[in-house]
């Protein structure tokens, strides 16, 4: 495949193991810019990105997530997620939290955030970094620590957690997942 954009799309994988070394400021700036230039419905740009390079803060979110996940997940899933060694961010040195307004205020905010976070994940891969898009941290924003975490992460007033992107230097590779059959229909006139 010769097209570099298509190559990045085809080669990107969700990475769940990272080196301890922090990503560069330049790489973080490029990744955040990729999110900022993503398209959004009516150009509302309904997102706020909070880049966290503080392991104590991401561990605080992890612990709050575990506390709430234990209440709602089936016992077998809760057992692995709530294990003290589990880290929802896979110990990535950088985590980008994306917050947005609730759907009642902006009907397409979550869709727009999905587009922005995919743009950031592709930018990370293009820069030789690994990333994984995460929804599970949302549990942290359902419990008693939710408001304190929103403040600690500088979410704008009225915004809440939407998605997160763990980013770092990959400590492992990953093969492409098999593509499932029957996922495309083409209708011609």
What residue spans of 17-86 are helical by DSSP H? Answer: 25-36, 55-72, 75-81
pLDDT digits (tens, 9 = 90+) for 81-104: 999 999 999 999 999 999 999 865
Q: Which residues pair with 57 in a beta bridge?
A: none
> What are the CA-CA distances from residue 130 to residues 12, 105, 125 (Å)?
8, 33, 6
* Ranges of each domain in the chain: 4-168
Rounded Cα distance between 172 and 174, Å, is 7
Q: What is the pLDDT along the chain (189 residues), one digit of tens a residue?
A: 689 999 999 999 999 999 999 999 999 999 999 999 999 999 999 999 999 999 999 999 999 999 999 999 999 888 999 999 999 999 999 999 999 998 656 688 999 999 999 999 999 999 999 999 999 999 999 999 999 999 999 999 999 999 999 999 999 988 888 999 999 999 999
As a CATH number, domain 4-168 is: 3.40.109.10
pTM here is 0.95
- Give me the pLDDT at residue 39, please: 97
Of 60, 17, 78, 32, which Cα lies nearest the Cα of 149? 60
């Amino acid at each position: 495949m010769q097209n570099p954009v298509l190559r990045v799309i085809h080669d990107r994988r969700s990475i769940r193991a990272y080196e301890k070394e922090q990503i560069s400021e330049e790489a973080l700036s490029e990744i955040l810019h990729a999110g900022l230039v993503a398209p959004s419905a009516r150009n509302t740009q309904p997102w706020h990105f909070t880049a966290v390079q503080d392991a104590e803060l991401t561990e605080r979110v992890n612990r709050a997530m575990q506390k709430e996940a234990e209440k709602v997940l089936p016992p077998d899933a809760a057992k692995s997620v709530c294990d003290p060694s589990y880290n929802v961010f896979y110990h990535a040195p950088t985590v980008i939290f994306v917050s947005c307004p609730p759907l009642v205020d902006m009907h397409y905010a979550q869709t727009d955030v999905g587009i922005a976070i995919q743009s950031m994940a592709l930018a990370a891969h293009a820069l030789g970094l690994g990333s994984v898009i995460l929804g599970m941290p949302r549990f942290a924003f359902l419990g008693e620590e939710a408001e304190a975490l929103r403040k600690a992460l500088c979410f704008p007033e009225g915004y809440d957690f939407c998605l997160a992107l763990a980013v770092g230097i990959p400590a492992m590779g990953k093969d492409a997942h098999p593509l499932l059959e029957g996922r495309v229909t083409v209708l011609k006139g």
